[in-house]
Structure 1
Amino acid sequence: MRGTKRFRLARPVAAALGAVLLVGGLAACGNSDTGGAADDGKITLGFSQVGAESGWRTANTTSVKEAAAAADIELKFDDAQQKQENQIKAIRNFIQQKVDVIAFSPVVESGWDTVLKEAKDADIPVILTDRAVDSADKSLYKTFLGSDFVKEGRLSGEWLLEQTKSATGPVNIVELQGTTGSAPANDRKKGFAEAIAANPNLSIVASQSGDFTRAGGKQVMEQFLKANPKIDVLFAHNDDMGLGALEAITAAGKVPGKDIIIITIDAVRDGMQALADGKFNFIAECSPLLGPQLMDLAKKVHAGEEVPPRIETEETTFTQEQAKEALPNRKY
């Protein structure tokens, strides 16, 4: 204190001031429970996106932004540019800003426990979207919203099994994997391998990451074609890598969809067009339109409601004729 002189408030003034402080204290307690900086009735959602590596991801970002606006949720958006360190930094920024809810699509599965513990300690609920984490502590996040990647890989493999059931000789498959260490890359590879194991004639002769990008798909497919004189099937973990591979296959003098069967996952518009044109042969859908469901979950976890630990999106598969039928009304 700067001086020793004391002041005594008159009793009515002191009582009024005490009431104001009490109300203010209660309001502050309410804010700390939700993690928000100010209780204006509007939820603030911090969302860290993987990046913009594909048409799927662009559609996913658009869905999240449009749904937030429609739900009157304030969105703090961050693009991690496919780097885990950027996502960890963004999540810590969200914690510092005292957002109400954090959601993110993890670049890779591992290495999240520390920052998720920080969010938990700050009483900010976390929602995983599109991609999961491999943390053993399930209390670090409220729920996962997204696809069953193992199922997508399995459906792709089962379709190939049906198409090659009469094959008497070896069927050589090359695989364009997604980003190394990511949930969709790990799970789609697993599901596909489990399915094709039912036919010993089917074998993966080369498998490498194209990082979910069109450029990566083209570059790796060029390497596959040089190293493997006989390729019967390409399994690409997403449409964009498959579209890049089309360029490499065509440049090598082969006909995509005929000389090499092409199976992809996602069903974005460019991929669906390639399927309708006969350049792709089969696509397992992975819907990017998660925005409305995410906003609904954000409201529920902010209100303290119980939500299922895993919520899967409804998806299907497409052949050429089905793609032709679906394309006119395709939203992405």
Structure 2
Amino acid sequence: MKKRILAGFALIGAMALAATGCASGAGGGTASGGGGGKVITVGFAQTGSESGWRSANTESMKDAFSAKNGFKLIFNAADNKPENQIAAVRSFINQGVDAIVIAPVVTTGWDDVLKEAKDAGIPVVLEDRTIDGSSDLYKAWIGDDFKKEGETAGAWAATNLGSKATNMVVLEGTTGSAPAIDRATGFDDAIKGTQIKTLDSQTGNFTRADGKTVMEGFLQKYGKTINLLFAQNDDMGLGALDAIKAAGLTPGKDIQIITIDATHDGLQAAANGEFNYVVECNPLLGPTVADTVKAILAGKDVPKAQTATDASFTPEQAKAALPDRKY
């Protein structure tokens, strides 16, 4: 089983980016140097700083879009508010940046501002998350396969718990976000036909604090009838641990827990036996995004979608992966 972040991208291959000195994918490599050309100004509209995954993603982007790599980065974190993010993109347009990178808070509401960017001749690259708008409004998307992550998590639940009556609660991510929608779809598809029953499903906004609060509510309402928790990211699962322990229950035993992200803290919880299964979502996307921006501005063709490869971890595999974990 994979023991560390798998950094390659499935669709990069022998693409034209190689001519620009493309890095080796999303897993901790460095973007190609700036050379003697002009400095490239990029506006990056991040969702916020809601989780350990997001912090690692932001650092990867800042490292890749550094001055030594030929960039000037204008960074904005939207505090998970779509209106803030759209305002940031409009500000980038007004500043006349060379390119815009967006990790969309939600999938909807992007058509108008992306048309403004297109009319201004500014290419847009989506990072991490996707949108529901026309694909003509952006040049490329680089991220993880959220639906597949949900399917992987659900397949483990189906194999290990699906043959017996199992009561599950779900901590959802930010309402309307691509990972929350796609992970739910993938998980639900994987557990169809099993004896896993969903008692309740509510948003924990991808944060530890909300994960704890919502789990407290689940425990007050359903008590010891809960057998399984599916948390759509590690941070919500980590918050839920506090609520489960406070209720006098043992996480990983009384309530089995599946999470997605595989941050260092999430893998540590698995290694401790508190999480039963963790699916990876690779945050180290910066080098590939930076090289894609350079290729677009150089007039090269780039893949419309580039997907990172994600691993998954049992407690034993988490123990083995921790010493080399980069985030």
Give the CA deviation at 1:162.
1.0
Asked if residue 236 in structure 1 is aligned to residue 234 in structure 2, the reply is no
Who is 1:74 aligned against? 72
Distance 1:295 1:266 in 2: 22
Give the CA deviation at 1:198.
2.9
**Unaligned ranges ≥5, structure 2:** 1-35
User: Aligned with 1:220: secondary structure?
Assistant: helix
User: Aligned with 2:291: secondary structure?
Assistant: helix
Please, what TM-score do these two structures have when normalized by structure 1? Answer: 0.86
Who is 1:112 aligned against? 110
Who is 2:255 aligned against? 260
Give the CA deviation at 1:165.
4.6
- 1:216-235 correspondence to structure 2 within 5 Å: 216-229=210-223, 230-235=225-230
Give the CA deviation at 1:71.
1.9
Q: Give the letter aligned to residue 148 of structure 1.
A: D
Who is 1:129 aligned against? 127
Who is 1:18 aligned against? none
Who is 2:30 aligned against? none
Distance 1:153 1:71 in 2: 35
- 1:70-109 correspondence to structure 2 within 5 Å: 70-109=68-107
Q: Which residue, 60, 64, 67 being the options, matches 1:63? A: 60
Q: Which residue, 50, 66, 79 being the options, matches 1:53? A: 50
Q: After the TM superposition, which parts of structure 1 deviate over 4 Å for at least 4 consecutive aligned residues?
A: none
Who is 1:179 aligned against? 174
- 1:1-332 correspondence to structure 2 within 5 Å: 41-69=38-66, 70-135=68-133, 137-167=134-164, 170-199=165-194, 201-229=195-223, 230-332=225-327
Distance 2:161 2:83 in 1: 43
Distance 1:121 1:306 in 2: 20
Cα 1:323–1:81 change in 2 (3 A) is same
Give the CA deviation at 1:155.
0.3
Bigger relative CO (Cα 8 Å, ≥ 6 apart):
2
The superposition leaves residues 255-280 of structure 1 with CA deviations (integer Å, 9 ceiling, x where unpaired) of 00000000000001110100000000
The superposition leaves residues 79-129 of structure 1 with CA deviations (integer Å, 9 ceiling, x where unpaired) of 111111111111111111111110010010000000000000001000000
Q: Give the letter aligned to residue 261 of structure 2.
A: D
Distance 2:38 2:119 in 1: 23
Cα 1:279–1:218 change in 2 (3 A) is same
Identity %: 55
Distance 2:297 2:180 in 1: 31
Distance 2:57 2:168 in 1: 30
Distance 2:37 2:304 in 1: 29
Q: Give the letter aligned to residue 298 of structure 1.
A: V
**Unaligned ranges ≥5, structure 1:** 1-38
Aligned residues: CA RMSD: 1.1
Give the CA deviation at 1:174.
0.3
Q: Give the letter aligned to residue 201 of structure 2.
A: S
Give the CA deviation at 1:40.
6.5
Distance 2:96 2:157 in 1: 49
